[in-house]
Every structure is written in C-alpha cells, then in structure tokens.
Amino acid sequence: MTSRMRTRLAMALRSFLPNRAVQVRHREGVRMWINLRRQLGLAVRGAQRYEPANVARLRSLVARDAVVYDVGAQVGFYAMLFSVWVGPAGTVCAFEPDPENLDLLRRNARSAPGGPIMTVDAAVADTSAETDFLVDSVTGATGTLRVGGVENSLAHLWARRPPDRIRVRTISLDDFVYARRNPPPTLVKIDVEGCDDLVVAGMSRLLDDIRPRLFIEGPRRQGSTVQTLQSRRYRIEACEVSRDGSPYVLIAHPE
C-alpha cells in the first residue's frame, strides 16, 4: 500500500469516528481536550508524540516571560505548550475562527498551565473585516480563507462535496496590537493552510517596528511570503522543504 493510499484510507475512516471531545495527555505534564474526529492525529499518536521536530524548534524560540501569538491555534496544542514555556509572567494569544475548535480552545485555555492564554475568535488576515471561512464538509479537520485550501481534504478526495462556508471575523495583527492595544509578540507561530501571505501582509508595521521571529508551517509555494519577509530584512531558515524545493516549515529571523 502506497503512502497516498494509506493517507486516503485514514481520512476515510475519520468520517466514521464519533464527533466528540476527549481528554488526552500532553507534553510537560499537561492534559488537553481534543475532538476525536477532527484531531485524529493527536488521538492516534498521542499529544506527547505529535510533531516532535516542530515542538523542539519552537521550544528553542520561546523565552521565559515572552509574548507568543499562535495564529491558527485550532484547539490549543501549541498554545498549551507556549503557556508552560513563557511562564506566569508571559502571555499567549491564540487566534482561531472555527467555532467548534474555538470551544475546545477556550476550554483548554481555562486550565492554562503557566502564562494566561487569550483566545481570539477571528481569522488573522491582511485586513480586519468579515469573510467566508471554508471548512472540510465531512470531517471539519481543515479550514481556510482561500478557495482551494481544503482541496486535499476528505471532502475533495472521497465525497466530492464542496466545503462548508461559515462567516467569520478577520483581524490583522497590526490592528490587534496598535488599534486594540494588545501586547506585541516576540514570536508568531503561523499555521493557516496556505494563507500565511495574508497574515504577513497584515503585520507590516509589526515587522518593521517590533521585529518578532516568525515560525511558519506550510508557507505558500508562490514564494510571496518569503519575498515579503526578505524585503523587510528577515533571514529565512528553511527547516523542511517540499518536493519542489520550496520551504514547507520555515523560521524568519530579523537581521
């Protein structure tokens, strides 16, 4: 069985799982709530063994007492770790537009093990407004602001059903900091299903004034994110690359 066949089989089985919340053991002695169908990878592998390379990379970037933004937080896998790492004097801001994910994110935030987790019910983009958010219509496991972002989901591969559309707020990080007077970040973790260019476009003032580090998973292959960051004197560290040679996981360091 090929890797693609295994992936498709796993995705097909996901739709038959109960859509309910369960609690799992996390790293750092933390427990967290996940949705069994949506966060299948966490349920099967266990949160303690999930994405070890990214966890190690992020751990090296988070300082005590820091302010960390988790953009595309889902239910808070990384937000909970950030809370431990920044400690009681630090702050975590977790952004998530999907209502079902947001419900579990808030539940997890209430038991934040270290620094407080501020949950923000919005998709981070280039402007503050309202727009459609596209969600995989079968499992709800994937969501995006951009058409095509859920093209590899179960809905596309098996059911051939278009994604569900929900109306969500968007917010730019510049507005979040400068208009709403929230603490600026020292690190921004971005995982937004190929819409990272929108996130970066909406934080130009932060990039120039505050100069936070950025950790981006799945940056757009067109290279617009990388080009924008390089034009603002950021050095790009490619941690993982796609088959076409473009960065898949990158860290942007201010020079």
Distance CA 245, CA 63 (A): 31
User: Is the pTM here over 0.85, yes or no?
Assistant: yes
Residues of the chain with pLDDT below 70 are 1-15, 138-139, 147-161, 221-222
What is the chain's Cα-based Rg?
17
- What pLDDT score does 15 carry? 66
Domain of 76? 3-254
- What pLDDT score does 154 carry? 47
- What pLDDT score does 135 carry? 87
Distance CA 239, CA 41 (A): 21
Query: Torsion over CA of 67, 73, 75 and 78, rounded to 10 degrees?
Result: -50
Q: Please report the beta strands in 136-233, taking only residues with DSSP state E, as ranges in sequence order.
A: 143-144, 164-171, 187-190, 213-217
**Count of domains forming the chain:** 1
CATH number at residue 169: 3.40.50.150
- What pLDDT score does 203 carry? 98
- What pLDDT score does 243 carry? 80
